[in-house]
Structure 1
Amino acid sequence: MDYFSYSRGDLKVEDVSVAELAEKHGTPLYIYSARTILEHFRKLRDAFAGAGGLDQEPVICYSVKANSNLSILKLMKDEGSGFDVVSGGELYRALKVGADPKKCVFAGVGKNDEEITYALEKGILLFNVESEEELANIDRIAGRLGKKASIALRVNPDVDPQTHTYISTGKKETKFGVDLSRAKRIIEWAQTLKNIALNGIHVHIGSQITKVEPYVETMQRMAAFLPECEKIGAKIEMLDIGGGFGIWYKDKLAKPAKDIAASILPTLQRMKTRILLEPGRFIVGNAGILVTRVLYVKESGDKKFVICDAGMNDLIRPTLYSAYHRIWPVKTDSGHTGEVPDEESWGGPSAVTDIVGPICESGDFFAKERKMPPLKRGDLVCVFSAGAYGYAMSSNYNSHPRPCEVMVAGKKAEVVTARESMEDLLRNEKIVSFSLT
């Protein structure tokens, strides 16, 4: 469920007109619905209630990489969420909004010494460790600081998550985790390191997973693997099952959280460990939109192009993954009221169009060969399901300033990230002081 709908031809986010926000704050513009974020978080929390046994509620650690806006992090923190971070910068952001370090987990294959030191000094819950060398490095740094580092070893179960190759992390050929046979040797070794407390196992097989079967297979492998860990002396208190829960971009194929939870809860409860989850896209993906304005409509040969002021620098997912996003005018002449239409259900005038941006790359597009209502210069267009991996992956390519971000709650709307200026583009640069000739 999200709170974007049309009222007499005018797109609204909760109780606020998208067109009015665009006129006030300009475009490109990201807009988020607080109500949608909260509803998605609560649905996931309720679905996994009792995951670690009746006496242990799961710890939900929102995945900061999906959308690291401070207002979203504050909303998550106030709702009781912990945080899954993959850099020192993400941990800094989480702590800035008052996050409890004991509800923060640090993942990622390439943690540097400064990040490890920072996380140890702040007292995070655990590191999700990806290799022997990383484990040795954490042990060394923890010893220097006089601390004991809590870790979970990330294992690779060699399960196909049936998602895009670039966001598939559970197969043996990816850089993530260690295979199960090697993991046992690392676990034995970890128990000899005096500055390491091996407390958990971490498994995360990918992102935008729309079926339950990969989760079922993964949890079955974990249920068999944890007793093997105990046989070699490890006391596994936590199982971090990652995230990756898919959302609806086009077809309503992604399984609801309750279906995923129902399929794996019996297995999780038998393991009797504290369960951690790392949702990101599931929480914020359908809670955000990108609003852009048509600059020009161009025809060349038999092709029609709608050129917008937002581009791959603002939302790179279509370029990077050939990802589908529903796109529709902010205002419709039909006076439509209700859910966002799609090209299949639309019965009004239409034209097959490529929706593209201003960037000097052929890969700068949001949609190709898309059936759309007629668009003209100045029209506002909405790219839906842009709340995850949108602004977070944006750049200043072609020296375009990053867009503004606005949060809506009911009838209230507030800028949560100011639009960058031309001056912002140069803020950290300088012209060399010596002669280059």
Structure 2
Amino acid sequence: MSVREPSAERAALLVERYGSPLYVYDAERVRAAYRDFAAAFPYAPVDFHYAIVCNKNRHLVRLLHSLGAGIHANTPGDAFAALSAGVPAHRIVYSGTNLDAADLDYILSRGIRLNLDSVDQLRDFAARSPGGAVGLRLLVDEPSRPNRIGVDPAELPEALAIARAAGVRLIGLHMYAGTNNRSLERFLACFERMVAASALLPDLEELDVGGGFGVPYRDGQEPLELPTLGREVARRMEALSTSRGRRIRLVVEPGRILVAEAGSLLVKVISVKERGGRRYIGVDTTVGNVVVESVYYPHHRVEALSPRSAPLELPTDVCGNTTHSRDFLARDCRLPPLAPGDLLALRDVGAYGYAMSSHFLNRPRPAEVVLEQGQDILTTRRETFADLLATQVDA
């Protein structure tokens, strides 16, 4: 594992300045992750669109956009966050599902291009934008693996008929291989199904390999073979472009793989209990402030920032500051001796950490800070109790 920011000394200063718990993101790790990711796809033309759903921190969105990334949105709120950060509409691609009239009107009125999820949605689009151009999300799973997302390849002739009747061009296909996917074989199998289905689209301009590129949250897990994936996708795209007699654009939507490892959640030890051959470390945050097993992903590395000695051979649970029975931020850790006031860092929380935090258990959400060229930049203020009730109105 590489050296993580923030270090123990810097973490102590950040907590002193901004309080605890505290989300901290290392901007340089995001830069490096984006450059490595982009370099893995030796094909042109190619567009990279950051999946903003995993972290809409405005500073990070602007950073990635400055490096050349567009934005992938799958809700109007995603699109709004991107536009608010200064990303122009033509650099946003929207791949949503079950858009009602207000959703469609919002996206179309801003000139954001769409990948639609169903034949019904194509009819809705055609009624609003005759003569327009649109893509489709394709169901890339085999029949034995039910999936609610996308148009079945068998439905493409019907979709083409609807499009022709309205003068709409079907210009692209989008796939989704699943979240936190580290399987090269899974990505390529889905991509090949999409390439095969694209033969039915005479106006094809682009194929979107989607997102879901996974990271290893546990020590010993193998990372996604990204360079191999990029080469294999590029090889298939070259063959497709040759067969079409024109360059077909590749669109890729990295999210978690760009920001997960750049994020840490700093927390303070409040109490230590030992009983029954087990240790319980109570901290000043809760599952409502971070993604854990009961919500999205089952494991985050936990690091004691000022260890007094080697880790104890004592099963240790890191416990949140509510009485919710599943308020555990980590289970069965091996940590050194700890005392109230010590700092811990939950690592790899840059994706779906703050993004999925909530007011569940009525603890205000932490602040967010970005470390950038030696500076620490407050990007999201710490919530107060008043924020917990800010949207309520008196009858």
TM bucket normalised to smaller = over 0.9
Matched, 1:417 2:380: yes
Q: Could you report, residue by residue, the CA deviation over 1:304-341 in whole angstroms, capped at 9, with x for unpaired residues? A: 2111111111112322245211101122235xxxxxxx
User: Residue 305 of structure 1: which of 269, 272, 280 is its match?
Assistant: 280
2:42–2:231 CA contact under 8 A, matched in 1: no
SS at match of 1:372: coil
1:62–1:278 CA contact under 8 A, matched in 2: yes
Structure 2 length-normalised TM: 0.92
Structure 1 equivalent of residue 51 of structure 2:
63
Q: CA deviation at 1:32?
A: 0.3
2:302–2:344 CA contact under 8 A, matched in 1: yes
Matched residue type, 1:245: F
2:141–2:147 CA contact under 8 A, matched in 1: no
Q: Distance in 2 between matches of 1:222 and 1:431?
A: 52
1:327–1:383 CA contact under 8 A, matched in 2: yes
1:49–1:57 CA contact under 8 A, matched in 2: no
Q: Distance in 1 between matches of 2:186 and 2:92?
A: 26
Matched, 1:20 2:13: yes
Structure 1 equivalent of residue 210 of structure 2:
242
Structure 1 equivalent of residue 331 of structure 2:
368
SS at match of 1:192: helix
User: Residue 35 of structure 2: which of 32, 42, 58 is its match?
Assistant: 42
Structure 2 equivalent of residue 391 of structure 1:
354
Matched, 1:186 2:183: no
User: Residue 155 of structure 1: which of 138, 146, 151 is its match?
Assistant: 138
Q: Distance in 2 between matches of 1:151 and 1:63?
A: 19
Structure 1 length-normalised TM: 0.84
Structure 2 equivalent of residue 4 of structure 1:
4
Q: Distance in 1 between matches of 2:256 and 2:213?
A: 7
Q: Distance in 1 between matches of 2:258 and 2:305?
A: 24
1:284–1:388 CA contact under 8 A, matched in 2: yes
**Tell me, which stretches of 5 or more residues in structure 2 are unaligned?**
242-247
Structure 1 equivalent of residue 237 of structure 2:
268
Aligned identity (percent) is 28
1:153–1:200 CA contact under 8 A, matched in 2: yes
Matched residue type, 2:36: K
Q: Distance in 2 between matches of 1:42 and 1:380?
A: 32
| CA pair 288-2 structure 1, distance change in 2 beyond 3 A | farther
User: Residue 326 of structure 1: which of 284, 301, 315 is its match?
Assistant: 301
1:156–1:172 CA contact under 8 A, matched in 2: no
Q: CA deviation at 1:372?
A: 1.5
Q: Distance in 1 between matches of 2:157 and 2:140?
A: 13
SS at match of 1:191: helix
Q: Could you report, residue by residue, the CA deviation over 1:126-169 in whole angstroms, capped at 9, with x for unpaired residues? A: 211111221122222335xxxx543211111116xxxxxxxxxx
1:153–1:183 CA contact under 8 A, matched in 2: no
1:2–1:36 CA contact under 8 A, matched in 2: no
Q: CA deviation at 1:81?
A: 0.9
Q: CA deviation at 1:3?
A: 5.4
Structure 2 equivalent of residue 131 of structure 1:
118
Q: CA deviation at 1:256?
A: 4.2
1:204–1:244 CA contact under 8 A, matched in 2: yes
Q: CA deviation at 1:404?
A: 0.2
Matched residue type, 1:180: P
Structure 2 equivalent of residue 29 of structure 1:
22
**Tell me, which stretches of 5 or more residues in structure 1 are unaligned?**
51-55, 160-169, 335-346, 433-437
Matched residue type, 1:314: N
1:208–1:244 CA contact under 8 A, matched in 2: yes
2:308–2:337 CA contact under 8 A, matched in 1: no
1:157–1:221 CA contact under 8 A, matched in 2: yes
1:191–1:198 CA contact under 8 A, matched in 2: no
Runs of 4+ with deviation above 3 angstroms = 299-303, 347-350
User: Residue 290 of structure 2: which of 315, 331, 340 is its match?
Assistant: 315
SS at match of 1:254: coil
Matched residue type, 2:37: L
Q: Distance in 2 between matches of 1:235 and 1:149?
A: 12
1:317–1:389 CA contact under 8 A, matched in 2: no
Q: CA deviation at 1:431?
A: 2.6
User: Residue 196 of structure 2: which of 199, 224, 227 is its match?
Assistant: 224
Structure 2 equivalent of residue 292 of structure 1:
267
Q: CA deviation at 1:5?
A: 5.6
Q: Distance in 1 between matches of 2:95 and 2:182?
A: 23
Q: CA deviation at 1:118?
A: 1.7
1:199–1:236 CA contact under 8 A, matched in 2: yes
Q: Distance in 2 between matches of 1:3 and 1:300?
A: 34
User: Residue 104 of structure 2: which of 116, 130, 153 is its match?
Assistant: 116
For structure 1, which segment, 113-122 or 294-303, has the greater mean C-alpha deviation from structure 2 after superposition? 294-303
